[in-house]
Chain A
Amino acid sequence: MKRIIAKQEFCMGCGLCEVYCTVQHSKTKDIVKAYNRENPKPISRIRLEMNKPVSFAIQCRHCQDAPCVTACLSGAMRKDENTGLVTHDAEKCMGCWTCIMVCPYGAIKMDVNGKVVAKCDQCNGLDVPACVANCPNGALVCKEVTP
């Protein structure tokens, strides 16, 4: 599986990762529509952490022994044994926020409509996740690891 690693020394905090993540997880995949038209508003699953001059972007780490999977009340959060990804099924999510309570990275977000959570899915199906592909300074990189 892939792991996305943040390289703090290359990050200048531009936030493009959040922009491209948002668009990738929008219905239209159109940057203007995603930001100005879509309702519910799509949200970024990556978070730019900033404490100037320090910045880096972080998203779900797809933990080996993921606390969110153990804690999930509804069974929406699962560890895919084949891909190694932690997957989230929004249809099953009851929006109880228990995963948010236990995620050590603070990498799970409340969805804008406030009813479910949202997290990184490594852009299901894309060779290179949108945040990595669009980082202008190589501050996000993919590493191949064995799940």
Chain B
Amino acid sequence: MSKYVIVGASAAGIGAVEAIREVDPVGTITVISEESCPQYSRPMISDLVSGKADFEKMKCREGKFWENTQVQALTGRTAVRLDLTEKFVVLDRGDRVNFEKLLIATGGRPFVPKIEGTDKEGVFTFTTIADAEHLAAKLQTTKTAVVIGAGLIGVSVTEALVKRGIKVTLVELQDKILSLLLDEKGSDIVENVIKKAGVTIITGQSVQQITGRPENSCVVGGVVLTKGEQIPCDVVIIAIGVIPRIELVTGTQVKTNRGIVVDNFMQTNVPGVYASGDVAEAYDFVLNQNRLLPLWPLAVHEGKVAGYNMAGKKTDYEGGTNMSALKYFGVPIVSIGIANPKEEAAYEVLVKHKPERNLYKKLVLKDNVIMGITLVNDIERAGILFHLMKNRVNVKKIKQALLQEDFGIATLPRSLRRKVYPGEIE
């Protein structure tokens, strides 16, 4: 019997453990984790492939995290079934762990399209340390790679491969790379930089088949694109996205949509059962609805909120949104909220574009409130804009200053400054 049981030990699970321990230093915690290694940063796996980081650097918590937080960690184990009436989790060897409060933080699994050849040797997904190690081990004999999907993961693994001297072809089904984060102009800037690094980018197409080698059909030899073009390669990395791992609650009364449905306390429809991270549909404060947002910082935050509530400290999740900072290919980018409004008439767009410096800044406003921030190559003031956005500050009077290079807290009128930064500047 454990007071708290957490299934999953990545971002959301870690956040939950830390939050529970802030409130409840003694309640028993059991964590069930498929991975046996210490806590590591998943977004850093591309740094492992590029050679920039080793596992030691990738550890995102102190060495003995489980000991320090007094957690009973069942590592290398999978939770296979839930009994919500008797309140226990069944593990892969049939053993049970009873709980009072349960957090499902099982994350997502990489989406693998139903195309021929994904079972060949040399096809990789890219979300775990094991994926990164397998890929890195293969690179000594690799000269060319095809990366399928030009989102965050696809672009990060592309950069890592380029750093290892590998010729990469990046294939994206949408018309633009990073299409969930950037508008056309922003995407173009990054695309040009990536092309200059020697990467071939193919958009508006996908891979219809992964083919084998003439001498061994079980080993990757190339891909066939939707329009028929063939690209020879030694490895294929599938980076299309992740789908929530909801299988643990399938068949139970826990409500699911694409992910597990949660309220603002990160609790599911079953009292005492919580969900956080990539598996959960949490609140998006820009769209004002719950949705999947598989992002590391949000997962930690959601896990913390779940942890506080599980331990009895009532805490509301303020919500996240589609938001990422990017460092790839030396182009710093921040993208938050709406980058490209669909119903243009309802929004006002402020833009600053200096092509000669690859500088691009864009704000999307609705009723004088910031709904979207895109910053390319000038990002240091991003957090101030985000603060105004989160607090739904009416920016009507300071609109012209928001994208200026000298924009800062001093730009805000005194009354507003006092309101949004109370007590900090006297």
Q: How many residues of A contact B (CB 8 A)?
A: 39
Within 8 A of A (CB), among B394-426: 406, 408-411, 414, 420-421, 424-426
Is A74 in the interface zone, CB < 8 Å from B?
yes
Residues of the B chain whose Cβ atoms lie less than 8 Å from the Cβ of A109: 380
Contact call B334/A51, Cβ cutoff below 8 A = no
Is A133 in the interface zone, CB < 8 Å from B?
no
Residues of the A chain whose Cβ atoms lie less than 8 Å from the Cβ of B382: 100-101, 106
Q: Given A56-B410, A97-B332, A100-B379, are A6 and B426 also a contact pair (CB < 8 Å)?
A: yes
Q: Interface residues, chain B, CB within 8 Å of chain A? A: 15, 39, 41, 43-44, 47, 52-53, 57-61, 296-297, 300-301, 304, 323-327, 330, 332, 334, 336, 379-384, 386-387, 406, 408-411, 414, 420-421, 424-426
Within 8 A of B (CB), among A72-123: 72-75, 91-92, 94-98, 100-110, 114
Contact call B325/A96, Cβ cutoff below 8 A = yes
Alpha-carbon separation in the docked complex, A58 to B59 (Å): 31
Alpha-carbon separation in the docked complex, A7 to B39 (Å): 42
Q: Which residue of A has the minimal Cβ distance to B297? A: A71
B76 smallest CB distance to A (angstroms):
22
Q: Interface residues, chain A, CB within 8 Å of chain B? A: 5-9, 47, 49-51, 54-56, 58, 61, 70-75, 91-92, 94-98, 100-110, 114
A-B contact pairs, 9 of them (CB 8 A): A47-B408, A50-B406, A58-B424, A72-B297, A74-B44, A94-B47, A94-B327, A96-B327, A103-B383
Q: A5-B424, A70-B300, A97-B327 are in contact. List 11 more A-B contacts (CB 8 A).
A: A49-B408, A49-B410, A70-B15, A70-B301, A72-B297, A94-B47, A97-B379, A100-B379, A101-B336, A104-B421, A105-B384
Q: Which residue of A has the minimal Cβ distance to B300? A: A70
Residues of the B chain whose Cβ atoms lie less than 8 Å from the Cβ of A96: 43, 325-327
Choose among A54, A102, A110 the residue that contacts B383 (Cβ–Cβ < 8 A): A102
Contact call A8/B409, Cβ cutoff below 8 A = no
Residues of the A chain whose Cβ atoms lie less than 8 Å from the Cβ of B297: 70-73, 98, 102
Contact call B411/A51, Cβ cutoff below 8 A = yes
Alpha-carbon separation in the docked complex, A141 to B170 (Å): 53
Choose among B44, B324, B426 the residue that contacts A7 (Cβ–Cβ < 8 A): B426
Choose among A58, A102, A107 the residue that contacts B386 (Cβ–Cβ < 8 A): A102
Contact call A75/B60, Cβ cutoff below 8 A = yes
Residues of the A chain whose Cβ atoms lie less than 8 Å from the Cβ of B332: 97, 110
Closest 3 CB pairs of A and B: A75-B60, A71-B297, A49-B410
Contact call B406/A101, Cβ cutoff below 8 A = no
Alpha-carbon separation in the docked complex, A23 to B419 (Å): 34
Contact call B41/A73, Cβ cutoff below 8 A = yes
Q: Which residue of B has the minimal Cβ distance to A54? A: B410
Contact call A6/B334, Cβ cutoff below 8 A = no
Q: Given A5-B426, A8-B426, A104-B384, are A97 and B408 also a contact pair (CB < 8 Å)?
A: no
Residues of the A chain whose Cβ atoms lie less than 8 Å from the Cβ of B59: 75
Alpha-carbon separation in the docked complex, A114 to B377 (Å): 11
B384 smallest CB distance to A (angstroms):
4
Contact call A56/B425, Cβ cutoff below 8 A = yes
Contact call B334/A100, Cβ cutoff below 8 A = yes
Alpha-carbon separation in the docked complex, A27 to B30 (Å): 46
Alpha-carbon separation in the docked complex, A128 to B52 (Å): 37
Q: Given A101-B323, A105-B409, A105-B424, are A75 and B379 also a contact pair (CB < 8 Å)?
A: no
Residues of the B chain whose Cβ atoms lie less than 8 Å from the Cβ of A92: 57
Alpha-carbon separation in the docked complex, A56 to B426 (Å): 9
Alpha-carbon separation in the docked complex, A5 to B57 (Å): 35
Q: Given A49-B408, A50-B406, are A6 and B424 also a contact pair (CB < 8 Å)?
A: yes
A10 smallest CB distance to B (angstroms):
9
Residues of the B chain whose Cβ atoms lie less than 8 Å from the Cβ of A9: 426
Contact call A70/B383, Cβ cutoff below 8 A = no
Alpha-carbon separation in the docked complex, A91 to B52 (Å): 12
